[in-house]
Amino acid sequence: MVKDMGVQPDDKQHVSVPPRPDETTEDRVLGGRILLRQPRVGYRAGLDAALLAAAVELKPGERALEAGCGAGAALLQTAVRSPGTSLVGLERDSTALGLAHVNIVLNGLGDRIEALHGDVSLRLPALGGGPFDAAFANPPFFDDPNALKTPHPSKRDAWIADGGLGAWTTFLLKVVKENGRITVIHRADRLADLLAGLGEGAGSFRIRPIHPFADEPAKRVLVRAVKTGKAPLVLLPPLVIHEREGAKHTPEAEAILRGEAGLGW
């Protein structure tokens, strides 16, 4: 059942609305260990969700929250990668939330994962259980709708951050306990904004650039921060995703995508 997550009064009776089966596809991720039902048209999770899940690295007994969990791609992969943990996904889109509920059941993870309705730009939801050990997110890439061609309506929430990136960093800082870990994947050209936002309450940054090819600039960055952390910033070796010839992915990237390796923080 979807809990009231502190949303505006006219949304307190919110219910998730999964799409019809003919509007979705079923995909296997994490080396086939997870069955993921996704929209046939609209935003579809892929590489970024897999890399984010590989970067979270929870210990048994820990609790983590994903802000903007969508259909649950990163949430499910994180759970399978980290046995003995519990996770909460927060999502404001009714259809995506409905798919997250379906995917949790399909993969038999209902005892460890809960998907709830909520929005990072609204007041902090009453999540229960106290602050989390970790929080993670793949925030929308753009703050300004005029910065890109108008996306398909079903992709808008995934591409446009109505409250700006700052709403996401503020939320992530609030939901973790002291020394809790925050992990974010985002566009490489927003790294300065990420560091500024998370730097309001966190430190001990570790940054891993993600390059599409070894001879091209990074397109993504994975950033980990520790709430109240004081350690110096560390810039880690890059992860290169593709090879120019041969296999589609580099051996390191393939091992990560299949769930056979982590990010090596």
Identify whether 2 is part of a domain.
Answer: no
Query: In whole numbers, what is the pLDDT of the chain averaged over residues?
Result: 87
Token pair for 195: 């560091």
Q: What is the pLDDT of residue 68?
A: 95
Mean pLDDT score, 31-38:
95
Torsion (CA) 200, 78, 206, 144 in degrees, nearest 10: -50
Cα–Cα distance measured from residue 71 to residue 25, given in angstroms and rounded to the nearest whole number: 12
Q: Is the pLDDT of residue 6 over 50?
A: no
Mean pLDDT score, 223-236:
98
Mean pLDDT score, 218-228:
98
Identify whether 265 is part of a domain.
Answer: no
For the entire predicted model, the pTM comes to: 0.85
- Name the residue among 233, 230, 185 with its Cα closest to residue 209: 185
Token pair for 83: 């046995």
Q: What is the pLDDT of residue 141?
A: 74
Contact (Cβ atoms closer than 8 angstroms) between residue 114 and residue 65: no
- Name the residue among 127, 126, 230 with its Cα closest to residue 179: 230
Contact (Cβ atoms closer than 8 angstroms) between residue 205 and residue 195: yes
Q: What is the pLDDT of residue 143?
A: 58
Q: What is the pLDDT of residue 45?
A: 76
Q: What is the pLDDT of residue 142?
A: 56
Instruction: Kindly report the backbone phi and psi dihedral angles of residue 139, in degrees, each rounded to the nearest multiple of 5, phi listed first.
Output: -65, 155
Identify whether 227 is part of a domain.
Answer: yes
Identify whether 263 is part of a domain.
Answer: no
Q: What is the pLDDT of residue 19?
A: 65
Q: What is the pLDDT of residue 55?
A: 97
Contact (Cβ atoms closer than 8 angstroms) between residue 79 and residue 85: yes
Q: Is the pLDDT of residue 181 over 80?
A: yes
- Name the residue among 155, 128, 123, 125 with its Cα closest to residue 140: 155
Q: What is the pLDDT of residue 197?
A: 97
Identify whether 57 is part of a domain.
Answer: yes
Identify whether 111 is part of a domain.
Answer: yes
Q: Is the pLDDT of residue 160 over 90?
A: no
Q: Given pLDDT bands bounded at 50, 70 and 90, which one contains residue 88?
A: very high
Q: Given pLDDT bands bounded at 50, 70 and 90, which one contains residue 154?
A: very low
- Looking up residue 191, the CATH number of its domain turns out to be 3.40.50.150
Q: What is the pLDDT of residue 23?
A: 81
Least confident interval from 140-144, 150-154, 222-226, 233-237? 150-154
- Name the residue among 187, 147, 156, 168 with its Cα closest to residue 43: 156
Cα–Cα distance measured from residue 265 to residue 224, given in angstroms and rounded to the nearest whole number: 9
Q: Is the pLDDT of residue 70 over 80?
A: yes
Token pair for 212: 């599409």
Number of domains making up the chain: 1
Q: Given pLDDT bands bounded at 50, 70 and 90, which one contains residue 52?
A: very high
Identify whether 237 is part of a domain.
Answer: yes
Per the structure, the complete domain to which residue 75 belongs is given by 9-257
Q: Is the pLDDT of residue 125 over 80?
A: no
Least confident interval from 101-110, 185-194, 245-254? 245-254
Identify whether 262 is part of a domain.
Answer: no
Q: Which residue type occupies 205?
A: F
